[in-house]
Each structure stands twice: as C-alpha cells, then as structure tokens.
C-alpha cells in the first residue's frame, strides 16, 4: 500500500478526540483544517511515492530536515506535522499494515529536545494597556453581544476554545470563579483542554458584573454562556473572522492585523508579569503547563530590577527588599558627592518596590 491516494487511507480527524478514526474518500469528513493542509501540502508530496511499510526513521529525519531547510514553518509546526504523521502510522500499525511506527522510533533515537520550538512572544503580539482598553471599548460599542466574551478572554487569559465551551454550570458568581473544564475546536467539537487539566479561574470585578448582567434568570447547567446570533453554538472560527478582526480594525486600525484572540492571552500574561503579579498565580489562572514555560515565553516582561538585593537577608523584620534603578543611581550620585555618606543616612529615602514589598523571608536561629 502506498501513501498516495487519500481514498485508501484511514486519516486522523477531530472526532478522534473521542478515540475514533474515519475513512477518508476524497477528503476527511469533518476535517481539521490544519491537519488537512499538513497532509496535502507536506506529507503526501514527500511520502507519496513510498510504500507505507517501507517508511523508516531515516525517512522521517530527511522529511524533518527538508521542511526546516525550506524555512517555511517553525520547529513547533514541524513537530505538529510529524504528530499527524505519527497518528496515521499508528492507525496503520493497528491495522497490521506496518510492524512499527517510524515516527516513534525516530523520536526515541533523537532524544528529548528541551525547550524545542519555545520562543519568547514578540511585542507585536501583545497589546499595551491603552490598546487593550481601546479594543474593549470598540467591542462594547460595535458588538455588545460579544463584548462579554472579549472581556473574558482579556481578564482571564483563557484560550478561545475554552471560552467557547464555557457553560453556565461552570460559572460561580458568588465565589467569583469559573471552571475551565473543556475546549471547543473551530467547528464546535467539544474535547478536553489543551493541557487536559481542569482549573478554576478568578473573575475580575468588571467581568463578574458583566456576566451577572447576561446570566439568564432560568437556565440549564449545560447551557452555553456564549452563543451565535441564532442561539446555537458559537464557532470560534466565526467569532475570529466576523467579530474579532473587525473589532481590531475599529480599535487599532488596519496596521494591527496580526492581533488575534490569542493575543489577549499573551497580553494577560505579559501585563500581569510586568506589574509584578505572583508567577504561580498567573500560571494557574492561564493554565500554562509549568512556570518554566511561562518564564521562557513571557519572562522578558518581568520588572527589570536586577540589583539591590544584597541586603535582603539582613533586612529589618526579614523583609526582602530591592532598590529600583532610580534609587540606586541616587545612592551612587550621593556617594560620589560625599564619600562619607553611608547607607544609614539614605535609609529614610528608600522605598520598597511594589513587585517585592510583599515577599517575606522567615528565618530561624534555633
């Protein structure tokens, strides 16, 4: 059997979230748009002339080298394409068409690549506080029905699929939290979240007030919070094209076409880190897999003070303090003017940084 001929292949589809594969005739039924592009644009042109049982780990390595040399895709996208290939070969192995999965063997021999494909998010994908408020104002003015969803994306850092799949049974306005328990793809198929973990997310005061306004007096626990104009399920692809792009154009102009709903997630993490919010809290609210990943992607938005901690262990009451850049310059300037000045003389002018004043270090001498 050859790789060519979509008619003869069992191809992975979004319904496999329920552990199902569907037989593909001309195209996959209910196809994942990205996976179909991966198969047609990358996999079939490269592997189309080979027998399935003749694909070896060396072939996978050549394919990986080829797509990376062309420079058309990122390392993370290359891994996603190979993930599609792995699923296809896994089904072929289940049908006893092949004896082993070449992608699995290639990954085992290659070893783990720590941090592969993880890059710091660029500033073009992050909104400033002023831009964020303009975006929210434009959504409220032009698309009031979808303003609550835009606000939820901005104030919780939720993924668009998680917001689309939110149910009223997940909303607890008394405790001011929502439960992120599931996610929806671009055509409405419901599945687990990206990390396959459920989490509770705190609501801001303004978001809590908006949700209280739109909550029906009588509703089913399974009723969706956000719906399409006809009351049906809200597809994230429709929201992205018909609502969010227009809101961005109204608020920020045509030059910011790269701003997507996911940019609000980037903005949530970046602004919180810049303002000194607790790192673990940000990770738990946004559902990032680890604090390390959060630092790898958004760490450059942390406050830039990197000096002034030398006396933290001997600070009064065990308080960990740091001098900001202005205070350090003031001390250095004063030291140049009068060498006899000491730290004790400058203490009354020292103030705690907002990002570190709440941190405490408990010491014991016993």
List 201's β-bridge partners, or say none. 178
Q: Which pLDDT does position 353 carry in this prediction?
A: 45
Q: How far is CA 120 from the centre of its chain?
A: 12
Q: In what side-by-side order are the strands of the sheet with 177-180?
A: 171-172, 177-180, 199-202
- Return the axis-axis angle of helices 261-274 and 291-298, rounded to nearest 10°: 100
CATH number of domain containing 146: 1.10.443.10
Q: What token pair was written down for 295? A: 């630092």
Instruction: Please tell me whether residues 308 and 291 are part of one structural domain.
Output: no
Looking at 120-129, 166-175, 279-288, which range is the least confident one? 120-129
Our count of domains for the chain comes to 3
Give the angle subtended at the CA of 200 by the CAs of 196 and 202, to the nearest 5°.
140
- Residues 167, 264, single domain; the answer is yes
CA distances from 315 to 278, 303, 311, 330, 335 (A): 22, 21, 6, 20, 21
Judgement on whether residues 138 and 70 belong to the same structural domain of the protein: no
The answer to the question of residue 141 being in a domain is: yes
DSSP conformational letter for 175? T
Res 300 pLDDT > 50: yes
86 shares its domain with 146: no
Model's pTM, two decimal places?
0.64
Task: Yes or no: say if 128 and 301 are a contact pair by the CB < 8 Å rule.
Answer: no
DSSP-assigned letter for residue 354: T
Same domain, 295 and 310: no
Q: Mean pLDDT for the chain?
A: 78
Query: What are the tens digits of pLDDT across the range 72-111?
Result: 788 878 888 898 888 888 888 888 888 889 999 998 887 6
Q: 216 and 267, same structural domain?
A: yes
Structure confidence by residue, pLDDT tens digits, 204-242: 999 999 999 999 988 899 999 999 988 888 998 899 999
pLDDT band at 267 (very low <50, low <70, confident <90, very high): very high
Q: Cα separation of 19 and 182, whole Å?
A: 16
- pLDDT of the residue at 361: 46
Q: What φ, ψ does residue 211 adopt, rounded to 5°? A: -65, -35
- List Cβ neighbours of 2 (8 Å cut-off, separation of 6 or more): 48, 49, 50, 51, 52
Q: Which residue has the higher pLDDT, 61 or 34?
A: 61
Cα–Cα distance measured from residue 352 to residue 354, given in angstroms and rounded to the nearest whole number: 6
pLDDT for residue 344: 39
More confident residue, 180 or 352: 180
CA dist 66 and 81 (Å) reads: 13
**Alpha helix (H) residue ranges in 143-194:** 147-156, 160-164
The DSSP letter of residue 310 is T
Q: Residue 149's closest CA among 220, 230, 234, 219?
A: 234
Return the bridge partners of 172, or none. 177
Q: What per-residue confidence (pLDDT) applies to 307?
A: 61
Residue 139 lies in a domain: yes
Residues 237 and 352 in one domain: no
Residue 235: C-alpha distances to residues 32, 166, 229, 231, 241 (Å): 14, 12, 11, 12, 10
Q: Report pLDDT for 39.
A: 84
DSSP type of residue 230: T
- What's the rounded mean pLDDT across residues 252-257? 85
Question: Quick one: pLDDT at residue 188?
Answer: 79
Among 89, 110, 131, give the residue marking a domain's end.
110
Would residue 116 count as lying in a domain?
A: no
Residue 115 domain flag:
no
Check whether residue 180 and residue 277 sit in a common domain.
yes
Same domain (yes/no): 128, 271 = yes
Q: Is residue 231 part of a domain?
A: yes
Position 334 scores a pLDDT of 62
> Which domain CATH number covers 18?
1.10.150.130
Q: What's the chain's length in residues?
A: 366
- Which tokens is 58 given? 């060396």
Where among 110, 134, 156 does a domain terminate? 110
Q: How far, in Å, are 211, 296, 340 from residue 345 at the CA level?
A: 53, 40, 10
In DSSP terms, which residues pair with 23 in a beta bridge? 10
Structural domain includes residue 273: yes
Give the separation between CA 361 and CA 320, rounded to whole angstroms. 7
Domain co-membership, 259 together with 316? no
- Residues 6 or more apart in contact with residue 237 via CB below 8 angstroms: 186, 187
Tell me the pLDDT band of 293, cut-offs 50, 70 and 90.
confident
Residue 118 lies in a domain: no
> For residue 340, what pLDDT is reported?
44
Residue 202: predicted pLDDT: 96
Mean pLDDT of all residues in 279-285: 93
Q: Please answer whether residues 327 and 285 qualify as being in contact, where contact means their C-beta atoms are separated by less than 8 angstroms.
A: no
* Same domain membership, residue 337 and residue 364: yes
Q: Of 248, 268, 301, at which residue does a domain stop?
A: 301
Q: Is residue 247 part of a domain?
A: yes
**Residue range 123-146: average pLDDT?**
94
Contacts of 335 (CB under 8 A, 6+ apart): 341
Asked whether residue 174 falls in the same domain as residue 203, the answer is yes
**3-class DSSP state of 149:** helix
Domain that holds residue 183: 123-301
């Amino acid at each position: 059997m050859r790789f060519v001929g979509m008619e003869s292949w069992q191809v992975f589809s979004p319904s496999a979230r329920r552990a199902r594969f569907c037989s593909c005739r001309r195209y996959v039924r209910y196809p994942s748009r990205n996976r179909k592009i991966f198969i047609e644009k990358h996999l079939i042109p490269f592997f189309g002339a080979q027998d399935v049982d003749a694909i070896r780990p060396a072939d996978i390595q050549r394919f990986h080298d080829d797509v990376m040399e062309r420079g058309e895709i990122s390392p993370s996208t290359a891994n996603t394409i190979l993930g599609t290939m792995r699923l296809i070969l896994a089904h072929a192995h289940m049908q006893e068409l092949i004896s082993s999965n070449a992608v699995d063997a290639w990954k085992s021999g290659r070893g783990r690549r720590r941090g592969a494909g993880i890059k710091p998010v660029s500033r073009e994908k992050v909104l400033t506080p002023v831009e964020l408020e303009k975006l929210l104002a434009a959504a409220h003015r032009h698309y009031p029905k979808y303003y609550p969803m835009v606000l939820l994306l901005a104030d919780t850092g939720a993924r668009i699929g998680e917001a689309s799949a939110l149910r009223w049974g997940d909303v607890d306005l008394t405790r001011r939290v929502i439960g992120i328990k599931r996610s929806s793809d671009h055509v409405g198929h419901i599945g687990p979240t990206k990390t396959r973990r459920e989490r509770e997310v705190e609501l801001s005061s303004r978001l809590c007030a908006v949700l209280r306004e739109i909550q029906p007096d009588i509703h089913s626990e399974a009723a969706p919070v956000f719906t399409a104009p006809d009351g049906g399920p809200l597809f994230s692809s429709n929201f992205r094209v018909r609502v969010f792009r227009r809101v961005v154009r109204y608020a920020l102009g045509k030059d910011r076409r790269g701003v997507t709903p996911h940019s609000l997630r980037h903005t949530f993490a970046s602004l919180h880190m810049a303002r000194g919010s607790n790192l673990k809290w940000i990770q738990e609210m946004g559902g990032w897999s680890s604090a390390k990943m959060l630092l790898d992607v958004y760490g450059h938005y942390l406050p830039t003070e990197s000096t002034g901690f030398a006396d933290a262990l001997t600070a009064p009451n065990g308080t960990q303090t740091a001098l900001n850049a202005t205070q350090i310059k003031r001390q250095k300037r004063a030291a140049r003017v009068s060498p006899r000045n000491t730290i004790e003389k400058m203490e009354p002018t020292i103030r705690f940084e907002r990002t570190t004043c709440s941190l405490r270090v408990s010491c014991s001498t016993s």
